[in-house]
C-alpha cells in the first residue's frame, strides 16, 4: 500500500483541526463527495458494457448536449449531498439554477455551498479517455437560518475553503485542497478505499508541455499565437511537447506532475473562452496555486475575479508558474 497505507478517511480525521471553525461539517462534506465519486467511478467503468454512453437527448443551460453520464454523475453527487444534508446549496454546470437545501432540521442551518462540474470531459466517454469531476466549496455569506441566495455562489475564488477533482482514468484518483497544500488519493478497486498516493503535490516551476486546442489557432489572440510559436521554436530546451486530451482535469493533472501549461483562451468565435469560472476555473486555480502553480485569464489572477453570473465563462491559462507568467508577458506585449 502507498504512503504508510494512510486512507483518505484517516487523513480527513487527522487534518480536521486545520479547518477554520472546524466542527466536522467540512470533513463530512468531503466524505460524501468521495462516496459519490465511487458510485460514478463504478458507472464510468461500465461504459461500453451497458447502455450508458452517448447523448441523453437533452441540452444543458449552456446549449451543450448532455451525455447520459453527465446526467448520472450530476444526480449522484446531488443526491449524495442532499441525503446527508450537509450543504445549504448546490450549483452545477448541468443545472440552470442553484439548488436550495434546507438541511436536517429544515432551518437552513448548514454553512457550506458546493459548486461542481459533475462530469468534465464528457465528450471523451465514448472513446475511453479519462473523465473527471470538479468541485468547489465556499462558506455561505448570507446568514445561517435563511435560504441561500445567489451571492453565496458568486464569491471570488480566493474565498474557497476547499476544492478538488476526481479523475476516472487508468486509476481513479481524488485530489483536493483545503488551503494547506494539495494531496492525491488513489482508489483501490478491490478494497473500495482511497489511499494517500500523491502527498503534497507540487507543480514544477517550469515545464515542457503546452496544452491547447490548436485547431482554434487562427482565432486566438495574437499573444497566444506568439506564445505557441515560442513553444515551437528550436532553442536549448525547446520546442516544447504538445499534449491535449480535451479533458481539463486530465490535462491539468498530467501537467501538475510533469510541468506544463494549459490554455483555453478567448478566440474570435468564443470571446470568453469555453471554461466556466465557477465550476472549472476557480477550483482548478485554487488547487494549482496551492501546489505552487498559477492560474490567469491572460492578464490577471483567476482567483481575484468577482463572478457576475453562475454559468460565466472565462479565458483560462493554468500551470507551472513561470510558464503562466510567460503567457501573460506575451499577452500584455501584443
User: Which residues in this chain contact ligand AHG in the complex, by CB under 6 A?
Assistant: 64, 93, 117, 120-123, 213, 246-248, 274
Nearer to Mn ion, 117 or 152 (CB): 117
297 binds Mn ion (CB under 5 A): no
Chosen from ligand AHG, Mn ion, none, partner binding at 274 (C-beta under 5 to 8 Å by type): ligand AHG
Q: Are 276 and 284 in contact (CB under 8 A)?
A: no
Q: Which residue has the cell 450549483?
A: 91
Q: How many residues bind Mn ion (CB under 5 A)?
A: 4
Q: Are 197 and 177 in contact (CB under 8 A)?
A: no
| Cα–Cα nearest to 318, from 264, 238, 277 | 264
Nearer to ligand AHG, 32 or 122 (CB): 122
> What is the footprint of Mn ion within residues 263-292 (CB under 5 A)?
none
Q: How far is the CB of 197 from ligand AHG (least distance, A)?
A: 23
How many whole angstroms separate alpha carbon 243 and alpha carbon 207? 12
How many whole angstroms separate alpha carbon 86 and alpha carbon 104? 8
DSSP 3-state assignment of 74? helix
> What is the footprint of Mn ion within residues 120-149 (CB under 5 A)?
120
Which three cell numbers mark 198?
Answer: 500523491
C-alpha 316: how far from chain center: 12
Nearer to ligand AHG, 57 or 143 (CB): 57
Q: How far is the CB of 313 from ligand AHG (least distance, A)?
A: 11
Nearer to Mn ion, 283 or 293 (CB): 283
Q: How far is the CB of 252 from ligand AHG (least distance, A)?
A: 9
Nearer to ligand AHG, 122 or 193 (CB): 122
Q: How far is the CB of 241 from Mn ion (least distance, A)?
A: 23
CA atoms within 13 A on the CB side of 328: 18
Chosen from ligand AHG, Mn ion, none, partner binding at 329 (C-beta under 5 to 8 Å by type): none
Q: Which residue has the cell 507543480?
A: 203
Chosen from ligand AHG, Mn ion, none, partner binding at 41 (C-beta under 5 to 8 Å by type): none
Nearer to Mn ion, 93 or 289 (CB): 93
Residue with CB nearest Mn ion?
Answer: 120
How many whole angstroms separate alpha carbon 212 and alpha carbon 221? 13
Sign of CA dihedral 76, 244, 314, 140: positive
Sign of CA dihedral 133, 97, 80, 200: positive
> What is the footprint of Mn ion within residues 102-121 (CB under 5 A)?
117, 119-120
Nearer to ligand AHG, 172 or 193 (CB): 172
Residue 42 CB burial class (10 angstroms; 0-12, 13-18, ≥19): middle
Positions in the binding site for Mn ion (CB under 5 A):
93, 117, 119-120
Amino acid at each position: 500500500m502507498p504512503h504508510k497505507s494512510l486512507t483518505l478517511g484517516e487523513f480527513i480525521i487527522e487534518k480536521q483541526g486545520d479547518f477554520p471553525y472546524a466542527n466536522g461539517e467540512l470533513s463530512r462534506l468531503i466524505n460524501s463527495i468521495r462516496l459519490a465519486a465511487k458510485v460514478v467511478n463504478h458507472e464510468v467503468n461500465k461504459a461500453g458494457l451497458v447502455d450508458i454512453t452517448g447523448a441523453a437527448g437533452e441540452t444543458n443551460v449552456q446549449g451543450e448536449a448532455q451525455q447520459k453520464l453527465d446526467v448520472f454523475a450530476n444526480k449522484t453527487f446531488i443526491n449524495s449531498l442532499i441525503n446527508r444534508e450537509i450543504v445549504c446549496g448546490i450549483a452545477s454546470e448541468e443545472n440552470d439554477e442553484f439548488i436550495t437545501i434546507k438541511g436536517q432540521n429544515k432551518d437552513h442551518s448548514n454553512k457550506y455551498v458546493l459548486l461542481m462540474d459533475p462530469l468534465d470531459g464528457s465528450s471523451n466517454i465514448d472513446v475511453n479517455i479519462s473523465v473527471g469531476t470538479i468541485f468547489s466549496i465556499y462558506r455561505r455569506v448570507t446568514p445561517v437560518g435563511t435560504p441561500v441566495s445567489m451571492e453565496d455562489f458568486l464569491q471570488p475564488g480566493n474565498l474557497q475553503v476547499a476544492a478538488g477533482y476526481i479523475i476516472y482514468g487508468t486509476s481513479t484518483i481524488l485530489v483536493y485542497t483545503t488551503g494547506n497544500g494539495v494531496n492525491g488519493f488513489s482508489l483501490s478497486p478491490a478494497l473500495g478505499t482511497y489511499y494517500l498516493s500523491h502527498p503534497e503535490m507540487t507543480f514544477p516551476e517550469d515545464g515542457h508541455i503546452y496544452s491547447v486546442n490548436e485547431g482554434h489557432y487562427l482565432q486566438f489572440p495574437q499573444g497566444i499565437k506568439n506564445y505557441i510559436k515560442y513553444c515551437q521554436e528550436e532553442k536549448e530546451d525547446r520546442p516544447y511537447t504538445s499534449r491535449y486530451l480535451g479533458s481539463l482535469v486530465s490535462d491539468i493533472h498530467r501537467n501538475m506532475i510533469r510541468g506544463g501549461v494549459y490554455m483555453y483562451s478567448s478566440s474570435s468565435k468564443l470571446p470568453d473562452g469555453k471554461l466556466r469560472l465557477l465550476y472549472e476555473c476557480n477550483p482548478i486555480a485554487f488547487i494549482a496555486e496551492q501546489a505552487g502553480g498559477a492560474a490567469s485569464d491572460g492578464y490577471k489572477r483567476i482567483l481575484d475575479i468577482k463572478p457576475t453570473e453562475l454559468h460565466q465563462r472565462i479565458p483560462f491559462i493554468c500551470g507551472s508558474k513561470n510558464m503562466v507568467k510567460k503567457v501573460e508577458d506575451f499577452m500584455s506585449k501584443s
